[in-house]
Amino acid sequence: MAGYLLARAGVPVAVLEKHSDFNRDFRGDTIHPSTLELMHELGLLDEFLKQPHQELRELRAIVNGQAVPAADFTKLPTRCKFIAFMPQWDFLNFLASHAKRFPTFQLHMETEVVDLLMDDSSVVGARAKTRSGEMEFRADLVIGADGRHSTVHTRAGLKQREFGVPIDVLWMRISKKQGDPKQTFGFFQHGKLLVLLDRDDYWQAGFVIPKGQFEEIKDRGLTQFQNEIVSFAGFLRDRVAELDHWSKIKLLTVQVNRLHDWCCAGLLCIGDSAHAMSPAGGVGINLAIQDAVATANLLAEKLQQGPVHVDDLRRVQARREWPTRLIQGMQIFIHHRIVTGRASGEERTSIPFVLRLLKWFPILRQIPARFIGMGPRPEHFHSPTAV
Ligand SMILES: Cc1cc2nc3c(=O)[nH]c(=O)nc-3n(C[C@H](O)[C@H](O)[C@H](O)COP(=O)(O)OP(=O)(O)OC[C@H]3O[C@@H](n4cnc5c(N)ncnc54)[C@H](O)[C@@H]3O)c2cc1C
């Protein structure tokens, strides 16, 4: 998104992606109302909504067998009053295909950043591994948008604060059948959680487990694991046997962290590279996109002229840091209070108090809807346009 917006402003951009395609499974599929609003501001919304997707207007959680409406998006002050579920590779392919129409945009696939180019203490580019050997890319600014295992922030030596996360996620595919229930927020039970993402012809399942317990689960055997999945979502009983080997079940370690400084001379980190997000609440993608928009809004005009000063980069951090802190705080709250299995005796069998409030008072469902659907401080596109 940052590459798209900067190229749109006429800034020469090279996006380096280490994989040969965007077909990664280990990210979410949520396109939030605020992102859809941006697509509208960019004139891309109608075409975007022609891509296969599902629209979710209300989030429901199944808590200890009871349906709890958790968020109502229909009252949001946005054009699209829903979350669109679309595989992230379709979203990224869509953005890349539009970005390629700008003469100053280049996308280099299979180009893995392995180091930064330095001049004294300033970053002046990146060194990347490609199929035809190593290449150097010199740049007025390097934007580290390389996710939670960021090479860029590591090579720059930027210090980060880790927030302990008590969960990991097991990630697997289960086939979908006619008559299956619609997309929900997740199935909560006794402090555990199964999330099912509707990928049209299959369910992408995420099963939240206490951190470090995968080996123990494996020791108990596949049959017990399959039974546990069925105890959350009974309709999967006739196909859970598809999970017939542990190689079909991938362990994703969840992290929440934040860089102390998101930038140094010649370098700015955004998205998970600056602040790794957990899947809790399904908000990390939106936050990463909002960072990209703020980056283009604050820097595009200056980058049209040449290098930017580190104080300009700090303005991006200053704008985006408090929404990030707020959302990470919410994620940590969810980890500890709702999905870790550390709930009190009463909460193990009933609905947690916060969710009960949402059930009793429909108006309150607009609060999580705003938080998830738009996020604090939603950004609007106002960087210059060259074409
Ligand atoms: C299991 C799981 C489920 C999640 N579900 C959701 C959800 O439903 N909704 C939601 O909003 N958030 C979700 N999140 C959080 C979300 O995935 C992240 O917050 C979001 O993807 C961050 O976007 P990003 O662009 O900063 O990083 P990423 O999406 O991680 O993208 C980084 C990109 O950089 C590339 N890259 C990495 N290193 C290099 C390198 N050295 N050189 C070149 N390219 C490189 C990667 O291949 C990748 O394409 C989930 C996270 C996890 C772990």
**pLDDT digit string (tens) for 168-182?**
999 999 999 999 987
Going by alpha carbons, the residue nearest to atom 20 of ligand 1 is 285
Nearest CA to ligand 1 atom 29: 147
Nearest CA, atom 18, ligand 1? 284
Span from the CA of 147 to the centroid of ligand 1 (angstroms): 5
Q: Using the mean position of ligand 1's atoms as its centre, give its distance from the Cα of residue 359 in Å.
A: 32
In angstroms, what is the span from residue 27 Cα to ligand 1's centroid? 5
Where does the pLDDT of residue 65 fall: very low under 50, low under 70, confident under 90, or very high at 90 and above? Answer: confident
pLDDT of residue 340: 58
SS (H, E, C) the chain: CHHHHHHHCCCCEEEECCCCCCCCCCCCCEECHHHHHHHHHCCCHHHHCCCCCEEECEEEEEECCEEEEEEEHHHCCCCCCCEEECCHHHHHHHHHHHHCCCCCEEEECCCEEEEEEEECCEEEEEEEEECCEEEEEECCCEEECCCCCCHHHHHHCCCEEEECCCEEEEEEEEECCCCCCCCCCEEEECCEEEEEEECCCEEEEEEEEECCCHHHHHHHCHHHHHHHHHHHCHHHCCCHHHCCCHHHCEEEECCEEEECCCEECCEEECHHHCCCCCCCCCCHHHHHHHHHHHHHHHHHHHHHHCCCCHHHHHHHHHHHHHHHHHHHHHHHHHHHHCCCCCCCHHHHHCCCHHHHHHHHCHHHHHHHHHHHHCCCCCCCCCCCCCC
Residue 291 Cα: closest atom of ligand 1: 26
**pLDDT at residue 344 tops 80:** no
pLDDT band at 383 (very low <50, low <70, confident <90, very high): confident
Closest-CA residue, ligand 1 atom 14, reads 279
Return the ligand 1 atom nearest residue 277 CA.
19
What's the confidence (pLDDT) of residue 385? 77
Q: Which atom of ligand 1 is nearest to the CA of 92?
A: 49
Which pLDDT score is estimated for 143?
98
Mean predicted confidence (pLDDT) in 351-370: 80
How far away, in angstroms, is 356 Cα from ligand 1 center? 32
Q: What is the pLDDT of residue 312?
A: 98
Q: Whose CA is nearest to atom 34 of ligand 1?
A: 146
Instruction: Answer whether residue 197 shows pLDDT above 90.
Output: no
d(CA 148, ligand 1 centre) in Å: 7
- pLDDT for 60 equals 80
pLDDT value for 85: 87
Interval 308-318 mean pLDDT: 98
Ligand 1 pocket, CB under 6 A: 16-19, 26-30, 112-113, 145-147, 151, 169, 171, 206, 252, 254, 271-273, 277, 279, 282-286, 288
Over range 370-387, report the average pLDDT. 84
pTM of the model: 0.91
pLDDT at 185: 63
How far away, in angstroms, is 23 Cα from ligand 1 center?
A: 12
Q: Whose CA is nearest to atom 15 of ligand 1?
A: 284
Ligand 1 pocket: which of 15, 19, 27, 136 to mutate (most atoms within 8 A of CB): 27
Q: How confident is the model at residue 10 (pLDDT cuts 50, 70, 90)?
A: very high
Name the residue with the closest Cα to ligand 1, atom 30: 147
From 29, 134, 285, mutation site for ligand 1 pocket: most ligand atoms within 8 A of C-beta: 285
**Mean pLDDT across 382-387:** 72
Q: What is the pLDDT of residues 18-54, one digit of tens each?
A: 999 998 766 778 899 999 999 999 999 999 999 999 8
Q: Which of 176-180, 289-293, 341-345, 377-381 has the lowest mean pLDDT?
A: 341-345
Q: What is the pLDDT of residues 212-268, one digit of tens each?
A: 899 999 999 999 999 999 998 999 999 999 999 999 999 988 899 999 999 999 999
**Banded pLDDT at 348 (limits 50, 70, 90):** low
pLDDT digits (tens, 9 = 90+) for 105-122: 999 999 999 999 999 999
What spacing in Å lies between the alpha carbon of 154 and ligand 1's midpoint? Answer: 16
Distance 98 CA to ligand 1 centre (A): 21
Calculate how far, in angstroms, residue 278's C-alpha sits from the geometric centre of ligand 1.
10
